[in-house]
Amino acid sequence: MGLHGSDIDDSHARQKIRQNPQRRTNRRAKDSPGHPQPDDLIMNNGVFGLEGQKILITGASSGIGRATAQLAAAQGAICIINGRDGTRLDETLSTLEGEGHIAIASDLTPENCSVLVKEAVAKAGLLNGFVHCAGIEKTLPFRMTELSDLHEIMSIDLDSYWEITKEILKKKNHEPQKLSVVAISSVAGQYGAAGKTAYAASKGALISLTKSLSAEYAGQGIRFNCVCPGYVNTPMLGNVKRLYRTEQDFTNAIVKKHLLGLGEPDDVASAVVYLLSVAAKWLTGSVMNVDGGYCV
């Protein structure tokens, strides 16, 4: 639930910075039949546009993070994208429309979170938005889930969001009255899920943290919102499919719960870009389910 490709592991931290100096056409490696592409989703102007906005996006090597970067760039944003896998991150960078985009490859250890924000601001200028797409999950029965599993998941899904947000909130790192923060949680964080106790706990904590931050910083014009996807067709979904003996078993257990079918990364990215835009200026502390009717 809210499963999206992870860009994090425990390997030694490394960083790479690359700017995209030329305008590129936004293209998917694999376009999804029946799902509109960014140019079809939101006009490149008006209240839904992100012209000139500097947006930091974690987990951008694949899945929802990549789709969010592509759509935000198509709307005029300058994207600072982060992920552990430098090769895949460069692939994302090469698909972004517009100029001045930056890729910073690193693990999201506590010390790297602060460095990531400082590098982003040094290269792009004061930030206008932050989207936390980085995350990992483990599907295990509770009796087999160790405390170390919980800590591992929390470190990426929650702790890195905490550390990055704390650094961004320093006045030297964001434009005053012009900061929007979006966390990618999950419907599992609201309703729970068998075999996903640690993952659901981390995503539930992310929702609570977002709500508390929205209350604390509303007076400064800083908005915090959460998007809770259902099951989305990303690399991480393969981990779930492997738990079922046949494709039909997976369809019966998971797909049929979504009234509109499984989601695509673009479906979630559209909601994220809306929350980043001035069109959502009266939204803070919201929890937006983007789940194809899963929770109906």
In a domain, 1, yes or no: no
In a domain, 4, yes or no: no
Supply the mean pLDDT for the chain.
88
Q: How many residues does the chain have?
A: 296
Average pLDDT, integer, range 82-109: 98
Query: Per the structure block, which two tokens stand in for 219?
Result: 């007076």
In this predicted structure, the answer to whether residue 9 has a pLDDT above a threshold of 70 is: no
For the chain, how many structural domains are there in total? 1
Task: Identify whether 244 is a catalytic site residue.
Answer: no
Cβ count within 10 A of residue 39: 14
Question: What is the rounded distance in angstroms from the CA atom of residue 248 to the CA atom of residue 285?
Answer: 38
Residue 289's pLDDT is what? 98
Query: Per the structure block, which two tokens stand in for 264?
Result: 């695509």
Residue 5's pLDDT is what? 44
Residue 50's pLDDT is what? 97
Least confident of 20-34, 88-102, 198-212: 20-34
Domain limits for position 125:
17-290
End-to-end C-alpha distance for the chain, whole angstroms:
14
In this predicted structure, the answer to whether residue 147 has a pLDDT above a threshold of 90 is: yes
In this predicted structure, the answer to whether residue 35 has a pLDDT above a threshold of 50 is: no
Question: What is the rounded distance in angstroms from the CA atom of residue 46 to the CA atom of residue 99?
Answer: 20
Residue 2's pLDDT is what? 59
From the candidates 161, 199, 231, 274, which is the catalytic residue? 199
- Secondary structure letter of residue 31 according to DSSP: P
Closest CA to 152 of 189, 204, 183, 108: 108
In this predicted structure, the answer to whether residue 42 has a pLDDT above a threshold of 50 is: no
Cβ count within 10 A of residue 246: 8
C-alpha distances in angstroms, 81 versus 88, 102, 112, 119, 127?
Answer: 11, 6, 14, 11, 13
Average pLDDT, integer, range 92-107: 98
Please check whether residue 48 is in contact with residue 41, taking contact to mean a CB–CB distance below 8 angstroms: no
Least confident of 80-94, 122-136, 156-170, 248-262: 248-262
Residue 46's pLDDT is what? 77
In a domain, 40, yes or no: yes
Please check whether residue 132 is in contact with residue 81, taking contact to mean a CB–CB distance below 8 angstroms: no
Beta-bridge partners for 132: 58, 183
In a domain, 9, yes or no: no
CATH number at residue 263: 3.40.50.720
Please check whether residue 160 is in contact with residue 108, taking contact to mean a CB–CB distance below 8 angstroms: yes
- H-type alpha helices, 139-262: 147-154, 160-168, 188-191, 197-217, 237-241, 247-253
Q: What is the pTM of this model?
A: 0.86
- Please state the φ and ψ torsions of residue 280, each to the nearest 5 degrees: -105, 25
In this predicted structure, the answer to whether residue 188 has a pLDDT above a threshold of 70 is: yes
In this predicted structure, the answer to whether residue 12 has a pLDDT above a threshold of 60 is: no
Q: Following DSSP, what letter does each residue of 191-225 receive, concatenated? A: H--TT-HHHHHHHHHHHHHHHHHHHHHGGGTEEEE
In a domain, 272, yes or no: yes
In a domain, 10, yes or no: no
Percent of the chain with pLDDT over 90: 71
Residue 3's pLDDT is what? 58
In a domain, 42, yes or no: yes
Residue indicated by tokens 């425990």: 10
Average pLDDT, integer, range 60-88: 98
Average pLDDT, integer, range 57-82: 98
Residue 256's pLDDT is what? 86
In a domain, 151, yes or no: yes
pLDDT tens track for 200-246: 999 999 999 999 999 999 999 999 999 999 999 987 787 778 778 89
Query: Per the structure block, which two tokens stand in for 132?
Result: 């936390």
Closest CA to 135 of 119, 151, 158, 165: 158
**Cα of 238 vs its chain's centroid, Å:** 18
Reported confidence tier of residue 19, pLDDT bands at 50, 70, 90: low
Least confident of 17-26, 158-167, 217-226: 17-26
